């Protein structure tokens, strides 16, 4: 489809900034690991230089675009700044994932690309297959958010079913009662609350984000402190857990439970009573069920955490081909999903673009800081907890006493506000997908998706996989065909192929060989290009047929 020259330049620039982070990963000599003021160059680029350049580029491009715009469309960004997206950034940073800097930058750049993308007019409405794909993608995004909220509540000891019901009721009330600029104000308030939450953590720790990063990166090992709750009083596992030990360790059971140990070459199992201990050696894997209460030794490495601060800051596998390909898959999925969910119905004013870009920057940097502070002060939160939910326990873990309880309440309010803003924005996505002729069905459809997602969240699941599936499906069904051409017939064929390919790869992925696991993790990496090729081929075929 046609895109004005300034917008093309802006989109190319944003993609170039994202590509810069990916190129730094396998670059010879590993320049991304070079320290500038104690912080790795890749982190400076992905967390500061590239984000600021991206926001500035979007504002400059919008100033160079002559068309008029609307001020309220930036509420569409709430479809992106959902709890699970922010948790994805924070969790990757918290665990020291090899692709963490690239994921953080991709999540920031993706909605900015959507802001520069042309608004959808009536002639470019998604076809029915694309609309169905978008609806299913919206449902998966909702499911991912409700899975996350249920996991977070589980870490606080709240019943999963109660959390699912409360979250669903909040979402349904938002759909039924809120209209107009409500989504925009919810976005502002939730953004302010999230930044305040991260600020409370920073004040409680008396550390800047870069200072915390330098401290973690300089540690020879991430260990249990003498006052750690896992050492002083023990904790209860919220989920079934497999712990890998890299050194000798003694684990003490505080409640009756079955402990299974996978050693090199053999398997052992014990039924321990409260007070009994189990000695483990380097290389052992301990498998424990949910509900077991246990205690670790002070001064020992946290099982499951990075082996050292240097490994957390610059994982050796970051330069490997597999990590680079996974980063490409994540970037394609995130950018495609953002274009499907965030593109406003009408062009935005310069003020709206500036405000929206600033909000995205604040959200993503806040999530990144939350992940760094988690690694700095509470790396043990990852034990027996879903990865994405653990990061939202950081404020409660670092703020003591009654203040900690107040912070926990603030966290719950922020998450519910973010969910409400996201639900309203996703309702707008459904409305744009199905068009004005079916506007009356938008609210009932949204209510159905919320209820279905709530029921699905009663059982534990991987929130990050649900999110990426939703984004990848919308990218394959709607975005790739739209980018490839304007012919409705060709785009319908592309949407159909994109949906079928995505569904097939998602279902058959576990049966693929190990080297092809990337297309199971990110099916859009294959499905979206295939949909694009089909549209282009069909467009060329029709053009040749017209000339005959």
CB atoms under 10 Å from CB of 384, counted, come to 25
Whole-number pLDDT of residue 438: 66
Residue 258, SS3? Answer: strand
Whole-number pLDDT of residue 434: 84
402 burial level (CB within 10 Å; 0-12, 13-18, 19+) = exposed
Q: Give 229-295's CATH code, choosing from 3.30.70.890, 2.60.40.10, 3.40.50.720, 2.60.120.10.
A: 2.60.120.10
Matching residue, tokens 């693929």: 512
d(CA 474, CA 338): 9
Which phi-psi region, left, alpha or beta, contains residue 239 (left: φ > 0; alpha: ψ -120 to 50)? Answer: beta
d(CA 37, CA 47): 14
Sign for the CA dihedral angle at 147, 153, 158, 162 comes to negative
Sign for the CA dihedral angle at 160, 80, 394, 287 comes to positive
Please report the DSSP string for 492-522 in residue order.
Answer: HHHHHHHHHHHHHHHHHGGGS-GGGTHHHH-
Q: What is the pLDDT along the chain (548 residues), one digit of tens a residue?
A: 456 777 888 999 999 999 999 999 998 888 988 998 889 999 999 999 999 999 999 998 888 766 655 555 567 888 999 999 999 999 999 999 999 999 999 999 999 998 887 665 545 667 889 999 999 999 999 999 999 999 999 888 889 999 999 999 999 999 888 876 777 888 899 999 999 999 999 999 999 999 999 999 999 998 998 888 899 989 888 888 899 898 999 999 999 999 999 988 788 888 889 989 999 888 899 999 888 899 999 989 999 888 899 999 999 999 888 899 999 999 999 999 999 999 776 667 788 888 889 999 999 999 999 999 999 998 899 898 888 999 998 988 888 777 878 888 889 899 999 999 999 999 989 988 887 656 678 889 999 999 999 999 999 899 999 999 999 999 999 999 988 877 888 899 999 999 999 999 988 877 877 777 888 889 999 999 999 999 988 888 877 777 76
Q: Taking the domain 5-209+308-547, which CATH number applies?
A: 1.20.1730
Domain locations in the chain as residue ranges: 5-209+308-547, 229-295
């Amino acid at each position: 489809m046609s895109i004005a020259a300034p917008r093309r330049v802006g989109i190319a620039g944003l993609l170039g900034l994202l590509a810069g982070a990916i190129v730094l990963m396998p670059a010879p000599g590993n320049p991304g690991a070079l320290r500038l003021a104690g912080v790795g160059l890749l982190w400076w680029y992905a967390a500061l230089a590239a984000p600021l350049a991206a926001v500035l580029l979007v504002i400059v491009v919008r100033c160079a675009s002559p068309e008029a715009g609307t001020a309220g469309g930036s509420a569409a960004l709430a479809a992106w700044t959902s709890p699970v997206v922010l948790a994805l950034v924070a969790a990757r940073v918290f665990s020291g994932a090899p692709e963490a800097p690239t994921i953080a930058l991709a999540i920031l750049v993706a909605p900015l690309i959507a802001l520069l993308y042309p608004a959808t007019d009536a002639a470019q409405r998604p076809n029915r297959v694309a609309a169905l794909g978008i609806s299913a993608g919206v449902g998966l995004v909702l499911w991912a958010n409700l899975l996350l909220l249920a996991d977070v509540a589980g870490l606080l000891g709240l019943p999963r079913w109660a959390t699912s019901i409360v979250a669903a009721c909040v979402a349904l009330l938002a759909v039924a009662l809120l209209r107009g600029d409500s989504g925009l104000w919810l976005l502002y308030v939730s953004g302010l609350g999230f930044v305040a939450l991260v600020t409370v953590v920073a004040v409680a720790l008396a550390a800047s984000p870069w200072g915390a990063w330098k401290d973690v990166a300089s540690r020879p090992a991430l260990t249990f402190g003498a006052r750690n709750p896992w050492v002083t009083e023990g904790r209860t596992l919220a989920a079934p857990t497999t712990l890998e030990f890299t050194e000798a360790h003694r684990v003490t059971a505080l409640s009756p439970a079955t402990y299974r140990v996978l050693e090199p070459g053999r398997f052992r199992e014990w039924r321990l009573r409260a007070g009994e201990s189990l000695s483990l050696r380097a290389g052992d894997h301990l498998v424990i069920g949910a509900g077991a209460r246990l205690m670790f030794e002070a001064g020992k490495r946290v099982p499951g955490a990075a082996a050292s601060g240097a490994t957390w800051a610059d994982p050796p596998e970051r330069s490997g081909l597999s990590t680079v390909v996974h980063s490409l898959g994540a970037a394609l999925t995130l950018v495609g999903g953002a274009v499907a969910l965030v593109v406003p119905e009408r062009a935005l004013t310069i003020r709206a673009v500036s405000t929206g870009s600033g909000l995205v920057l604040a959200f993503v940097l806040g999530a990144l800081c939350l992940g760094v502070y988690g690694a700095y002060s509470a790396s043990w939160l990852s034990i027996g907890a879903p990865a994405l939910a653990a990061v939202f326990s950081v404020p409660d873990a670092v703020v003591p006493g009654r203040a900690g309880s107040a912070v926990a309440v603030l966290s719950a309010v922020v998450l519910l506000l973010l969910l409400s803003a996201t639900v309203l924005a996703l309702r707008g996505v459904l409305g744009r997908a199905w068009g004005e002729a079916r506007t009356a069905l938008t609210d009932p459809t949204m209510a159905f998706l919320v209820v279905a997602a709530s029921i699905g969240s009663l059982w534990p699941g991987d929130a990050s996989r649900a999110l990426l599936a939703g984004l990848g499906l919308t990218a394959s069904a709607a975005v790739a065909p739209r980018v490839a051409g304007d012919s409705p017939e060709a785009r319908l064929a592309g949407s159909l192929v994109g949906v079928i390919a995505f569904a097939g790869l998602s279902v058959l992925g576990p049966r693929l060989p190990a080297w092809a696991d990337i297309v199971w993790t990110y099916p859009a990496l294959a499905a979206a290009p295939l949909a694009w090729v089909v549209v282009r081929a069909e467009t060329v075929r029709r053009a040749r047929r017209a000339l005959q």
